[in-house]
């Protein structure tokens, strides 16, 4: 190659990139592209650096320029789109996949992936249309029907999603992801009997149980437990553990000796749960005859809507901790004390839909007679420093080291308003009044349409009616909160006489 060839320019840009000389690397990557180095990798690095510097629009334009040159075959663009999806770069992924389809209009994988990406970008109708087009191109492909079913479910069209997913299973009965998705959809619709069975297919999805427990114990299948030790282990998030630990008394009734594996954040809290013989942190040796995950218990016990073990409370705050927080909250006076959580863990698959910014809750700060307190942890907690204009928000979260601390603070509140997080489950398990804000397509446990939860009697559900529209939800919550605060003030006034 001659000196200063496109390859040389790219190699030089990559060296600058590795050395952290980012502005120079951006310029050098541009030079390489202008010199004819039109491989996807140069644009991948270019848009990554531009986004890192906060130049998102310029980053997108750089990639659009690459697509316009049609410098790569459709399958390269499709693969690049997949790489962008994995990094959460949905706008760029749409550009890449549309570029692939411009080059090859019948590119099946690109059509299929485009549906998912458009959905993540909030373009529901286009997402469904893309998936339906993939099905028309190859109607005997189970994966395409399965993907269509998932997209339909995620936009709130549960019945249509189930129909498409059943079609996928009819075409390929070994499609374990389709079975698992069907289980989630049926559970969402309240059809627990078949739903739990289908959801159990998750154990056949290779990436789902990629880190099996470090124990050599058989799974409990519902057999005799008399005098036997059973190890219950967490399977998913903190909220799942809180929700399904309610089954422990039912195991004890069968004669089991229950050993529980706990996430560190829950260890102190779970000490308040009756029926646990031994509580273990990760890495502790396990002595038991069998094991089971928390989310397998509803299937084994044959739980349907009418038999959900919904007696609350079953988790409790430490009394000494709760008393200390009671004194700390004296600043609230006689106002209605309300805890707020506005975001879940960013790593959650549906976090972009279930979480919202604190600013969206600002109208609640204008409700008279209400004292607001943050229960938010993680990076989203920074949004309270300072809170939105006009919102008075007490913030003790730096003192909340685990959910036992959160429970002690929560025990002194009159109400919790939260998105779908572990705090929602904690409040419900403690029988505290809790209002949960839900996206259009909620997690299966909240089911559809109903304003209450059969799992938690003290819980109320406030649902989006269109994708991403939190304003209507907050308006409804604000109106109800104003009424509750007025009743609270009236009751306080009456008690003074």
**pLDDT per position as a tens digit, 50-102:** 767 777 667 666 666 665 554 455 566 666 666 666 667 777 778 778 877 87
Rounded percentage of the chain residues whose pLDDT exceeds 70:
88
Average pLDDT of the segment spanning 329-333 = 87
Residue 228 to residue 259: CA distance in whole angstroms: 10
Q: How confident is the model at residue 211 (pLDDT cuts 50, 70, 90)?
A: very low
In degrees rounded to 5, what are phi and psi of residue 369? 80, 15
- Confidence band, pLDDT 50/70/90 cuts, at residue 410: very high
The predicted model scores a pTM of 0.83
- Sheet (strand 276-280) strand order: 276-280, 257-261, 229-233, 290-293
Quote the CA–CA distance of 236 and 239 in Å, as a whole number: 8
State the pLDDT confidence band at 1, using cuts at 50, 70 and 90. very low
pLDDT tens readout for residues 262-279: 999 999 999 999 999 999
Q: What pLDDT, on the 0 to 100 scale, is given for residue 25?
A: 85
H helix or E strand, kind and range, residue 344: none
Question: Which pairs from 24-30 meet CB under 8 Å and 24+ separation?
Answer: 25/49, 26/50, 26/53
Rg (CA), the chain: 26
Distances (CA, A) of 3 to 11, 12, 17, 206: 12, 12, 20, 49
Query: How confident is the model over 103-161, as pLDDT tens digits?
Result: 778 888 888 888 888 887 778 888 999 999 999 999 999 999 999 999 999 888 999 99
* Residue (of 45, 94, 104) closest to 72 by Cα position: 104
Smallest CA-to-CA distance from 438 within 404, 405, 402, 474 is with: 474
Q: Is the pLDDT at 497 greater than 50, yes or no?
A: no
User: 460 in helix, strand or coil?
Assistant: strand
Query: What is the band of 7 on the pLDDT scale with cuts at 50, 70, 90?
Result: confident
Per-residue pLDDT tens over the stretch 231-246: 999 988 999 999 999 9
**Nearest CA among 428, 478, 430 for reference residue 452:** 428
pLDDT at 63: 63
DSSP three-state, residue 196: helix
Cis peptide before 164 (omega within 30 of 0): no
Q: Tell me which of 14-23, 152-161, 335-344 is least confident.
A: 14-23
DSSP state of 438: E
Determine the pLDDT at residue 210.
43
Q: Give the integer Cα–Cα distance in Å for 482 and 293.
A: 42
- The structural domains of the chain, ordered by start, are 140-210 (1.25.40.10), 229-307 (3.40.50), 319-495 (3.40.50.2000)
Phi and psi angles of residue 339, each rounded to the nearest 5 degrees, phi first = -95, 145
What stretches of 398-454 show up as alpha helix (H) in DSSP? 403-410, 422-429
What's residue 429's pLDDT? Answer: 98
**Is residue 97 within a helix (H) or strand (E), and if so which, with residue range?**
helix 90-103
Q: Predicted confidence band at 170 (pLDDT cuts at 50, 70, 90)?
A: very high
Question: Per-residue pLDDT tens for 174-210?
Answer: 999 999 999 999 999 999 999 999 999 998 886 665 4
Mind listing the pLDDT tens digit for each residue in 292-319?
Answer: 999 999 999 999 999 999 999 999 999 9
Tokens of 59: 């980053």
For 470-491, give the DSSP string: -HHHHHHHHHHHHHHHHHHHHH
325 in Cβ contact with 256 (< 8 Å): no
Q: What is the pLDDT of residues 432-490, one digit of tens each?
A: 999 999 999 899 999 999 999 999 999 999 999 988 899 999 999 999 999 999 999 98
Question: With contact defined as beta carbons under 8 Å apart, do 378 and 415 qualify?
Answer: no
Residue 65 CB-half CA count within 13 A: 17
Does 19 score more than 50 pLDDT? yes
């Amino acid at each position: 190659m001659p000196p200063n060839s496109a390859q040389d320019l790219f190699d030089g840009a990559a060296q600058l990139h590795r050395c952290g000389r980012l502005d120079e690397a951006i310029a050098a990557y541009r030079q390489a592209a202008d010199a004819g180095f039109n491989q996807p990798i140069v644009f991948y690095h270019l848009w990554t650096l531009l986004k890192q510097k906060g130049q998102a629009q310029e980053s997108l334009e750089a990639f659009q320029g690459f697509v316009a040159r049609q410098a790569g075959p459709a399958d390269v663009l499709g693969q690049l789109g997949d790489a962008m999806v994995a990094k959460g770069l949905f706008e760029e992924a749409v550009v890449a996949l549309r570029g692939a389809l411009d080059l090859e209009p019948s590119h099946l994988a690109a059509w299929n992936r485009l549906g998912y990406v458009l959905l993540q970008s909030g373009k529901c109708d286009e997402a469904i249309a893309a998936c339906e087009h993939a099905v028309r191109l190859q109607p005997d492909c189970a994966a395409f029907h399965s993907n269509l079913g998932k997209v339909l479910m995620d936009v709130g069209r549960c019945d249509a999603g189930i129909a498409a997913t059943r079609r996928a299973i009819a075409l390929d009965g070994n499609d374990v992801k389709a079975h698992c998705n069907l289980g989630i959809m049926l559970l969402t619709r309240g059809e627990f009997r078949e739903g739990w069975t289908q959801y159990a297919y998750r154990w056949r999805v290779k990436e789902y149980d990629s880190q099996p427990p470090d124990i050599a114990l058989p799974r409990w299948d519902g057999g005799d437990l008399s005098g036997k030790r059973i190890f219950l282990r967490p399977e998913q998030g903190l909220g799942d553990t809180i929700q399904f630990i309610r089954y422990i008394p039912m195991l004890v009734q069968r004669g089991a000796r229950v050993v529980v594996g706990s996430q560190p954040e829950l260890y102190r809290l779970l000490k308040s749960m009756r029926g646990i013989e031994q509580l273990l942190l990760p890495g502790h040796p396990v002595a038991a005859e069998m094991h089971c995950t928390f989310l397998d218990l509803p299937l084994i016990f044959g739980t349907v809507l009418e038999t959900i073990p919904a007696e609350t409370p079953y988790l409790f705050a430490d009394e000494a901790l709760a008393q200390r927080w009671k004194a700390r909250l004296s600043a609230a006076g006689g106002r209605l004390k309300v805890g707020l959580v506005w975001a879940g863990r960013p790593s959650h698959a549906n976090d972009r839909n279930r979480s919202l910014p604190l600013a969206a809750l600002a109208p609640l700060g204008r409700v008279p007679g209400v004292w607001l307190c943050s229960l938010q942890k993680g990076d989203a907690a920074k949004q309270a420093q300072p809170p939105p204009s006009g919102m008075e928000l007490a913030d003790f979260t730096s003192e909340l080291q685990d959910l036992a601390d959160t429970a002690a603070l929560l025990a002194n509140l009159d109400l919790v308003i939260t998105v779908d997080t572990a705090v929602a489950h904690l409040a419900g398990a403690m029988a505290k009044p809790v209002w949960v804000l839900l996206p259009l397509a909620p997690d299966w446990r909240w089911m559809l349409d109903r304003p209450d939860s059969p799992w938690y009697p003290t819980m109320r559900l406030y649902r989006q009616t269109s994708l991403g529209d939190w304003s209507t939800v907050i308006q409804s919550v604000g109106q109800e909160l104003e009424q509750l605060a007025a009743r609270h003030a009236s009751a306080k006034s009456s008690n003074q006489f």
